[in-house]
Structure 1
Amino acid sequence: MILRLGEDSNLWTPLLRLLLRVIMAWLFEWKVFAAEPSFGIPAINVTVIEGDTAVLECSILHLTEEHQVVWTDAEGFLLTHNAKRIIDDKRLSVERPLKQLWNLHIRDVHYSDRGKYVCQISTQPPKHKDVILNVLVPPYIIEQYSSKDMTVQEGDTVTLVCNATGVPQPEISWFRYLSDSMQEKERIGSRGEVLIIHNVSRECGGTYVCEADSGVEPRQTREIKLVVQYPPEVFLPSARLGQHPGRETFLQCEVTAHPHGTMFWEKDGRDLAADRSGKFNVEIFNTDYDQKKILSLRIREIKNEDFGQYTCVADNFVGADQETMILYDYSIHMRRRTTTTASPIIVPPVVTDHWIPVDSNGPIYNQERSNNRNGKHI
């Protein structure tokens, strides 16, 4: 019996399918219709921060045992062969989390690692995929080219320099701490590596901060302490002080300077601290402001010859200043008042046994305050 095509489709269909499978298997075995290896995804450039790990992806489809995969640098220098590292750089390795992936890992990336890397397949002709590695470098302030702590004199011109490098090139901003606690700071000047301060005053002293910022963390800062030296300034809370003979009193002056040098009270050209009679006692008191001190003079059992002019003198290597006040006999003043009065006047004690606070700078004894706040002699 001869079977004609189409007479029994139920019999021919399975046979044709089986024959087709055999033929296709034979063709694939002999690579007649085998797909050639190709890259699975387009090239993706990589950007990392120096010190991180860079992952350069290479996905290959239809790879067979007859084909090789290599990574090279831009000059064609061989880095890896299949999954094996060729060069003596332990930072490099080929990682294959999936069968089709041949990713090149570079750990602890250096800025010198930047550039082009090539993933190649040994086809004829070879196929390759280029991956560009960009390396960012956090800001770095170069100490040898940046300003250190400085000491200048009032009136000088100061140039502060903050030299920084990084990729991309960082911008420099300048700040100044508002107090010695260095908790708050204010922005000063304009952006740039150089900050110039003309005609420096004592108020310009303090801690300056330059901050380098390129958008790559972390930012870097540098503190520069500026010390401004200036001559002393002497201030007298009062230009005149009255007291009764036989009593004692205190004279005081405020001295602002940096640095502090010599401070003393003198009368008739004589340094009273050198007096050995026990009548005079000179003491120095600190204040909350380290550039201001109080110089106190204690005079015991005042006699007529103790009345007169007393001068507070201060000097340092920058300059000097002095102010003079008058100690007068208060009893004469009171006697004059009683002679012009019809009825007797009870005079209260002129001096107390305690300090009388004056402003916030320290105590003085009962003084006639001058309207001249600059402490000039009147």
Structure 2
Amino acid sequence: MQMMMAGARTRTTTTMMTTTTTTMMMLRRVWIPVLILMMFGITGGEERTWNTEPAYETQGVNVTVIEGKSAILPCSVHDPTSADNKPVKVVWTDQWSTILTFQDNTIIDDERIHVDHAFAREWNLRINRVKYGDQGIYTCQVNTEPVISYTVHLTVVVAPRLSNDGTGGMLEVMEGSKAELVCNATGIPAPTITWFRKTADMGERRESEFCTGTSIVRRYSSFSQRIGEAGQVLVIHNVTRFCGGIYECVAENGVPPSVRREIQVKVKFMPKISLPSKRISTQKFY
């Protein structure tokens, strides 16, 4: 009986602690923004007047950054003090009106975000290790009456990536059939995929004339022959034994680095026997 009562008290205590923690988290979520708005001077109380309103030295801009890098969203305020020589208050919000920072303090629970305030006029928002989901419109606000807002549009671009095709870089095909080489790539903006056939010497280049191909371009220390059209799938119709070799797909979208993959094509064909032509003399010897 005592053990049952002790267990009940433990469950009750645990429930109370969980409820208290949840309540504190809810209060924090509700009251922190309210307190900031009260400090910001936009709660509907006494109107604030300014002899000279602060003005933005920077205008609305577009900022483009590569995923994984750091983004700096500029916000420079001219005359960063009010008429009574008190510093203005600056808040950064995102496109969902979530308060990110207040003055030098980060409000949102994201260690990647903070304010660069090296100089009195600068209130730049820094986002480290940018993710594609960070893309959007950010607003820098100053507590004038009415509030002055300045927006920055953040665009995040993503370098090309190649997905695993499950072939292990090897494709076997019968002579006379159709070969399909696949190179799936993602990125923002969408990457362009170009195909090349790698050839090491003049002999291989002569043989490649019996397979689909176009002009030859110089790449690395060997030669490569441009194959087909740009796209994720390279189709070679009516494969011949001369189509075997190493093919390479290159994905590029203007965001470094570009990525490439090699695929070795092996062509299976029936044996062919050829005999050298020899002259046999029919002259009779006496």
- Match in the other structure for 1:44: 61
Q: Does the aligned pair in 1 maintain the 2:80–2:120 contact within 8 Å? A: no
Normalised to the residue count of structure 1, the TM-score between the two structures is 0.53
- Match in the other structure for 1:327: none
SS in 2 for 1:203: helix
- 1:37 CA drift (Å): 2.0
- 1:40 CA drift (Å): 1.8
- Match in the other structure for 1:198: 237
CA distance in 1, matches of 2:67, 2:167: 23
- Match in the other structure for 1:62: 79
User: Structure 2 regions of 5+ residues with no counterpart?
Assistant: 1-47, 205-220
Question: Of 186, 195, 215, which aligns to 2:225?
Answer: 186
Look up the equivalent residue of 1:232 and give its one-letter code: P
- Match in the other structure for 1:211: 250
Is 1:135 the counterpart of 2:156? The answer is yes
User: Structure 1 regions of 5+ residues with no counterpart?
Assistant: 1-30, 243-332, 341-378
SS in 2 for 1:235: coil
CA distance in 1, matches of 2:156, 2:274: 61
CA distance in 2, matches of 1:78, 1:169: 32
CA distance in 1, matches of 2:50, 2:69: 44
- Match in the other structure for 1:234: 273
- Higher-strand-fraction structure: 1
CA distance in 1, matches of 2:87, 2:119: 19
CA distance in 1, matches of 2:176, 2:49: 91
Identity %: 42
Once the two structures are superposed, what CA deviation does each residue of 1:86-141 show, in whole Å capped at 9, x if it has no partner?
12222111112321000001111111111001101122221111100011111112
SS in 1 for 2:231: coil
- 1:241 CA drift (Å): 9.4
- Higher-helix-fraction structure: 2
Look up the equivalent residue of 1:53 and give its one-letter code: S
Change (3 A) 1:145 1:169: farther
CA distance in 1, matches of 2:61, 2:115: 17
Once the two structures are superposed, what CA deviation does each residue of 1:303-343 show, in whole Å capped at 9, x if it has no partner?
xxxxxxxxxxxxxxxxxxxxxxxxxxxxxx99x63xx2xxx
- 1:169 CA drift (Å): 0.9
Normalised to the residue count of structure 2, the TM-score between the two structures is 0.69
Q: Does the aligned pair in 2 maintain the 1:145–1:162 contact within 8 Å? A: no
CA distance in 2, matches of 1:152, 1:222: 19
Once the two structures are superposed, what CA deviation does each residue of 1:151-201 show, in whole Å capped at 9, x if it has no partner?
111111111122211111111111101139982211111112221111111
For the pair shown, the structure with the greater C-alpha radius of gyration is 1
Kindly report which structure 2 residues correspond to 1:30-179, keeping only aligned pairs within 5 A, or say none: 34-64=51-81, 65=86, 67-144=88-165, 148-179=169-200
- Aligned length, in residue pairs: 217
CA distance in 2, matches of 1:100, 1:87: 23
Look up the equivalent residue of 2:180 and give its one-letter code: T
- Match in the other structure for 2:262: 223
CA distance in 1, matches of 2:104, 2:239: 66
Look up the equivalent residue of 2:108 and give its one-letter code: I
